[in-house]
Amino acid sequence: MSVSGESDNSDVLIALLGLTGAGKTTFARAASGDESLEVGHSIYPCTQEPKVVRFTLDGRRIGLIDTPGFDDDNRSDVEILEAIVEWLGSKGYLKRHRLDGLILLHPITVHRVGGTERQRTRLLKKILGPDAYKRIIIATTMWEQIKDPEDMQRRIDGRKADLWSDFLENGAELVPHENTKDSARKIISKAIKTSDRLGKLKPKLHEELLKNPRVVETTAGVEAKTNIEREIENCNKLLRENKKKEPTRPGKGRSDPKTVRDWEGWSEERQALHRKLHEHNARLKKLNSLSFRFKNWFTKLFL
């Protein structure tokens, strides 16, 4: 068993996705039997960059990609797309390390769908495309923390009707994870059987990039651009509203404390909005410049 930040030569490669605290690292630790993997117990995730956890299952070499939290606000849509394009272009497909499936871990203790989770789920759908949804296994975790069976069912039904509906209608599986080695390995075995039957996973983003290397013109790129433009529009709106509330500027001489406090508070709010606007514009510029680079033989091999 080993852990690495790089891709590997595993027979089977499966990505672990989910919210911060969903139990991705715990799942990898249970499946691999490696107790040394660090598991987070706070709001700060232990996994900041994807790590490949390797072990053997039924004679097959398995690689589980432990990914950062789906709801990580410190990681923008553009950074996610950039990392995926890098995987497709150099660390993944060029070395023929293609995914066999995805396990989406979800803590049943979380029933509210947050804004970042909803946005990232939409982005995931655009990256994969409906044909790949059948390669997803949604594994619910932390059942031991729920005491009310009716409450459990309500939480599942709510997700099935909302965030997961597209996945499930297109062949994704929904299974409980019992937080044991046996349970984790059974879920992995499901993903392996599906891959053995259907072959390696080819996301829609990959197919689009082979035809047009500009990321911003892919379905996922358009989704990310729409999100950024929405944030830019919101920042500009807040700046206009902030301008209308501009207080009296303190004079060069002595000013009363309230005037100084009001001006400083207003100025700090305005500066923060300008910083956010600058960040969003920088992300939009980055997205517009992202391109998938590959050699001529690569298109002949995969097209």
Q: What is the mean pLDDT of each run of 10 residues along the chain (303 residues)?
A: 47 89 89 65 45 89 85 80 73 64 91 85 92 95 84 85 94 94 96 93 88 93 95 98 94 81 96 98 95 54 40
The pLDDT assigned to 295 comes to 46
The pLDDT assigned to 166 comes to 96
The pLDDT assigned to 96 comes to 57
Phi, psi of 116 (to 5 degrees): -65, -40
Q: Cα–Cα distance between 238 and 30 in angstroms, integer?
A: 47
pTM of the model: 0.82
The pLDDT assigned to 41 comes to 36
Strands 101-107 and 12-18: parallel
Q: Under a CB-based contact definition with an 8 Å cutoff, are residues 93 and 302 in contact? A: yes
Minimal CA–CA distance to 33: which of 56, 17, 16?
56
Q: Where are the alpha helices (DSSP H) in 114-148?
A: 115-128
H/E element holding 268?
A: helix 257-289
Q: Where are the alpha helices (DSSP H) in 133-218?
A: 149-161, 165-169, 181-198, 204-211
Q: Cα–Cα distance between 285 and 282 in angstroms, integer?
A: 5
Tally the residues of the chain.
Answer: 303
Minimal CA–CA distance to 13: which of 173, 191, 205, 259?
191
Minimal CA–CA distance to 103: which of 182, 174, 10, 26?
174
Minimal CA–CA distance to 298: which of 85, 94, 99?
94
Minimal CA–CA distance to 97: which of 196, 201, 183, 181?
201
The pLDDT assigned to 122 comes to 92
The pLDDT assigned to 144 comes to 84
